[in-house]
Amino acid sequence: MADDQKQNQNQSEGQEQAPQNAQNQSQDTERPKSAGRRRKRTIRFVLLAVLILAIVIGIPIYAYYSVRESTDDAQVDGHLVPVSSRIAGTILEVLVNDNQEVQAGQELVKLDPADYQVAYDQAQAQLATSQANTLESQENVPITTITTTSQISSSTTQVQEAQAGVASAEQAVHAAQAKVSAANAELEQRQANYVKTQKDLARLQDLVQKDEISKQDFDAAVANADAAAAQVSSAKADIVTAQRNYDQTVAQLGQARARLATAQVQQRQSEQVRARQQAVSEARYKQAQAQVRQRQADVEQAQLNLRYTVIKAPVDGVVSRKNAEPGMQVSPGQQIMSLVPLDDVWVTANFKETQLKKMRVGQKVDIEVDTYGSSRTYHGHIDSIAAASGAKFSLLPPENATGNYVKVVQRVPVKIILEPGQDRDHSLRPGMSVTPTVLLNSGTNNAQ
């Protein structure tokens, strides 16, 4: 009974609490719905705030990196100046050490100058000999001219004398010929007189036999006949003499003409010899001058070789890779050390080809050196962009036309020059790794 009463009592309490529970249940149902709506609004606000924050932060970041290109495939480059001997010799003294800073013109190494000093002295002696020969050849030129001119004058005089001798011989021939003609005429006259006297004698002989004339007249006629005969003989002798004189003058004329021909030949030979002798003399003088110039060149070369015994620094820099020691034999072109000029360094950056779209010469570059980190930033600008990718300059460049083609992004070297005064303390060394950042909105890019 007691259990039934409790059950009824519970039922009555349950009936009384049913509306209240229904009311509470409805309240509980509305409470999660409102909480869900609030949670969704909160999520929306959070997402919106995150989006706004992302936009606010992303835009500057995008604006910052969109105008910058960077690479860690970069290093400091510089000149490596080889120092070598220009002559063969023995090292006497090494005046520098590794990593020592030197100035242009500073003495680095001294070679033994003894052999080159002897060669220099010999070259000077040969030059003096050649200069003396040149002076002698120079003096011979006017002497030869004077001698040949005198020979020509003498030969001309001889020709003139020979011509005068020919003219005189011709006159003598004419005179001798006239004497021969006169002697012949005299002979004819005397022969005619002799014939007349012979005829007179024959007539008188008949008369004297008849005593028609005196003996004295006959003797006179005989004397006249004998005298006429003697005159004929004398005329014949005169003809012989005149003919002999004529022959002698003709012979003398031939000799005079021969002397004239000889003198004329000598004159022509003298004129020809004059030109040749003068040409030979001038040629010898020019040859002597050329030999002097050659000896002067030998002296200058010997002087240069003597000067090359002291090896000097060609540029300012730091001594590196020194392998010169006293007593070592060196040959021409043998490298004995290197100089690194730290005043002239630059950066070679190997950018990907996809990074070169907006890259131009003259754009500014910020450079961080791995050695110093972000504590020090160097500034420079793009000087030039290589004409080909780095792979094209490799020992075995790739050939995409053979085998299986695999596309690889190529890298192109870009030369970056530091701004003046960026490396006054020479902190940068060739080979150091750097990270350059190109400002694409600077330099020539602004005008585009």
- Same CATH fold, 115-307 and 69-112+318-447? no
Where does 20-79 show beta strands of DSSP type E? 68-70, 74-78
Classify residue 406 as left (phi > 0), alpha (psi -120 to 50) or beta. beta
* Residue 446 confidence (pLDDT): 40
Percent of the chain with pLDDT over 70: 78
Distances (CA, A) of 55 to 45, 52, 63, 64, 438: 15, 5, 12, 14, 25
Q: How far apart are CA 305 and CA 285, in angstroms?
A: 30
Distances (CA, A) of 416 to 89, 97, 366, 429: 42, 31, 10, 15
Q: Convert the pLDDT of each residue in 16-54 to its tens digit.
A: 555 555 555 555 556 666 777 778 788 888 888 888 888
Q: Convert the pLDDT of each residue in 100-127 to its tens digit.
A: 999 999 999 999 999 999 999 999 999 8
Q: How far apart are CA 7 and CA 282, in angstroms?
A: 162
Contacts 24+ apart (CB under 8 A), 237-243: 238/183, 238/186, 238/187, 239/180, 239/183, 239/184, 239/187, 241/183, 242/176, 242/179, 242/180, 242/182, 242/183, 243/180, 243/183
DSSP state of 433: B
DSSP state of 339: E
Would you place residue 445 in the very low, low, confident or very high pLDDT band (cuts 50, 70, 90)? very low
What are the residue ranges spanned by the domains of the chain? 69-112+318-447, 115-307
Distances (CA, A) of 425 to 377, 421, 422, 429: 14, 9, 9, 11
Q: How far apart are CA 144 and CA 137, in angstroms?
A: 10
Fold of 69-112+318-447: Elongation Factor Tu (Ef-tu); domain 3 (2.40.30)
pTM score, whole prediction? 0.58
Q: Which amino acid is at 210?
A: K
Residue entry with tokens 């080159």: 116
CA nearest neighbour of 109 among 93, 97, 98: 93
Contact predicate 348/414, CB 8 Å: yes
Q: Which amino acid is at 431?
A: G
* Residue 1 confidence (pLDDT): 44
Q: Convert the pLDDT of each residue in 321-358 to its tens digit.
A: 999 999 999 999 999 999 999 989 999 999 999 999 98
Residue 8, pLDDT > 60, answer no
Would you place residue 193 in the very low, low, confident or very high pLDDT band (cuts 50, 70, 90)? confident
- Strand 329-330 relative to strand 310-312: parallel, antiparallel, unpaired? unpaired
Q: Convert the pLDDT of each residue in 243-276 to its tens digit.
A: 788 788 788 778 877 877 877 777 676 666 666 6
Q: Which CATH architecture fits 115-307?
A: Orthogonal Bundle (1.10)
- Of how many residues is the chain composed? 448
Contact predicate 338/84, CB 8 Å: no
Distances (CA, A) of 389 to 352, 359, 398, 411, 414: 9, 15, 11, 6, 10
Would you place residue 66 in the very low, low, confident or very high pLDDT band (cuts 50, 70, 90)? low
Residue 444, pLDDT > 70, answer no
